[in-house]
Amino acid sequence: MSEKPLNTPNLQDIATAAGVSTATVSRVLNSPADVRPAMRERVEAQIRALGYVRHGAARALASSRSFTIGAVIPTLESAIFASGVDAVENYLAETGYTLLLAVTNYDLQHEYEQVQALIERGVDGMILVGRDHDAGTLNMLERQRCPFITTWTYTEEAAHPCVGFDNADAARRITAHLLELGHKRIGVIAGVTEGNDRARERIIGVRTALRSRRLKLQEDCLIEKPYDVGAGRDGLRYLMSLPKSKRPTAIFCGNDVLAIGALLEAQHMGIHVPDDVSIVGFDDLPLAEHLSPGLTTVHVPSRRMGISAAQYLLASIAGESPATHNELPTDIMVRGTTAPPRR
Amino acid sequence: MSEKPLNTPNLQDIATAAGVSTATVSRVLNSPADVRPAMRERVEAQIRALGYVRHGAARALASSRSFTIGAVIPTLESAIFASGVDAVENYLAETGYTLLLAVTNYDLQHEYEQVQALIERGVDGMILVGRDHDAGTLNMLERQRCPFITTWTYTEEAAHPCVGFDNADAARRITAHLLELGHKRIGVIAGVTEGNDRARERIIGVRTALRSRRLKLQEDCLIEKPYDVGAGRDGLRYLMSLPKSKRPTAIFCGNDVLAIGALLEAQHMGIHVPDDVSIVGFDDLPLAEHLSPGLTTVHVPSRRMGISAAQYLLASIAGESPATHNELPTDIMVRGTTAPPRR
DNA sequence: TTGTATGCGTTATCAT
DNA sequence: ATGATAACGCATACAA
Count other Cβ atoms within 10 Å, centred on residue A84.
Answer: 27
Helix or strand run (H / E) with residue A101? strand A98-103
Predicted pLDDT at A343: 74
The answer to whether position B114 is within a domain reads yes
Taking the CA of residue A200 and the nearest CA in chain B, the distance in Å comes to 25
Structural domain span for residue A29? 11-54
B230 touches chain A (CB under 8 A): yes
One domain for residues A241 and A324: no
Are B53 and A140 an interchain contact pair (Cβ–Cβ within 8 Å)? yes
The four Cα atoms A261, A265, A271, A272 give a dihedral, to 10 degrees, of 40
The four Cα atoms A76, A80, A83, A87 give a dihedral, to 10 degrees, of -110
Count the residues in chain A: 343
Low-confidence ranges of chain A (pLDDT < 70): 1-6
One domain for residues A288 and A174: yes
Taking the CA of residue A237 and the nearest CA in chain B, the distance in Å comes to 14
One domain for residues A77 and A149: yes
Are B76 and A89 an interchain contact pair (Cβ–Cβ within 8 Å)? yes
Predicted pLDDT at B7: 80
What is the nearest nucleotide to B53, using C1' and CA? C9
Q: What is the pLDDT of residues B92-103, one digit of tens each?
A: 999 999 999 999
Q: What is the pLDDT of residues B251-306, one digit of tens each?
A: 999 999 999 999 999 999 999 999 999 999 999 999 999 999 999 999 999 999 99
The answer to whether position B60 is within a domain reads no
Prior bond of A274 cis (ω within 30°): yes
- CATH number of the structural domain spanning residue B45: 1.10.260.40
Predicted pLDDT at A7: 80
Q: How far apart are CA A43 and CA B22, in angstroms?
A: 39
Q: Which of A99, A101, A292 lies closest to B267 in CB terms? A: A292
Taking the CA of residue B56 and the nearest CA in chain A, the distance in Å comes to 5
Q: How far apart are CA A178 and CA A296, in angstroms?
A: 10
CA distances (Å), A305 to each of A127, A129, A153, A281, in order?
11, 11, 10, 19
Q: Give the start-end residues of each E strand in chain B.
A: 68-73, 98-103, 126-129, 148-151, 162-164, 186-191, 222-225, 250-253, 278-280, 297-299, 325-327, 331-333
Q: Evaluate if residue B1 carries a pLDDT over 70.
A: no
B231 touches chain A (CB under 8 A): no
Predicted pLDDT at A281: 98
One domain for residues B160 and B195: no
Q: Which of A57, A83, A143 lies closest to B57 in CB terms? A: A57
Q: Which residues pair with B225 in a beta bridge?
A: B191
Q: Determine contact, residues A229/B287, Cβ cutoff 8 Å.
A: yes
One domain for residues A154 and A212: no
What is the nearest nucleotide to A36, using C1' and CA? C1
One domain for residues A114 and A260: no
The four Cα atoms A16, A19, A24, A29 give a dihedral, to 10 degrees, of -70
- Average pLDDT of chain B? 96
The four Cα atoms A238, A239, A240, A245 give a dihedral, to 10 degrees, of 130
Predicted pLDDT at B6: 63
Q: Which residues pair with A337 in a beta bridge?
A: none
Q: Determine contact, residues A221/A239, Cβ cutoff 8 Å.
A: yes
The answer to whether position A187 is within a domain reads yes
Buried b (16+ CB within 10 A) or exposed e, B99-120: bbbbbbbbebebbbbbbbbbbb
Q: Which nucleotides of C are covered by protein (CB under 7 A)?
A: 1-5, 7-13
One domain for residues B157 and B305: yes
Taking the CA of residue A216 and the nearest CA in chain B, the distance in Å comes to 32
Are B122 and A55 an interchain contact pair (Cβ–Cβ within 8 Å)? yes
The answer to whether position B337 is within a domain reads no
Q: How far apart are CA A55 and CA B122, in angstroms?
A: 7
Are B101 and A105 an interchain contact pair (Cβ–Cβ within 8 Å)? no
The answer to whether position B5 is within a domain reads no
Which protein residue has its CA closest to C1' of C9? B58
B contacts of A120 (beta carbons < 8 Å):
53-56
The answer to whether position B103 is within a domain reads yes
Q: How far apart are CA B141 and CA B151, in angstroms?
A: 16
Q: Determine contact, residues A306/A84, Cβ cutoff 8 Å.
A: yes
Residues 296-325 of B with CB under 8 A from A: none
The angle formed by the CA atoms of residues A309, A312 and A314, to the nearest 5 degrees, is: 110
CA distances (Å), B298 to each of B42, B82, B179, B221, in order?
57, 18, 16, 21
One domain for residues B222 and B319: no
The protein side of the strand C contact, defined by CB less than 7 Å from any of its atoms, consists of: A 19-24, 27, 34-36, 38-40, 58, 61-62; B 7, 10-12, 22-23, 26, 29-30, 52, 54-55, 58-59, 61-63
One domain for residues A228 and A139: no
A287 touches chain B (CB under 8 A): yes
Q: Which amino acid is at A62?
A: A
The answer to whether position A267 is within a domain reads yes
Q: Evaluate if residue B3 carries a pLDDT over 70.
A: no
Give B220's DSSP letter.
G
Are A53 and B264 an interchain contact pair (Cβ–Cβ within 8 Å)? no
Q: Which residues pair with A37 in a beta bridge?
A: none
- CATH number of the structural domain spanning residue A322: 3.40.50.2300
Domain total of chain B: 3
One domain for residues A102 and A193: no
B8 touches chain A (CB under 8 A): yes
One domain for residues A305 and A293: no
Q: How far apart are CA A97 and CA A234, in angstroms?
A: 43
One domain for residues A294 and A171: yes
Distance in angstroms, CA of B144 to C1' of D11? 23
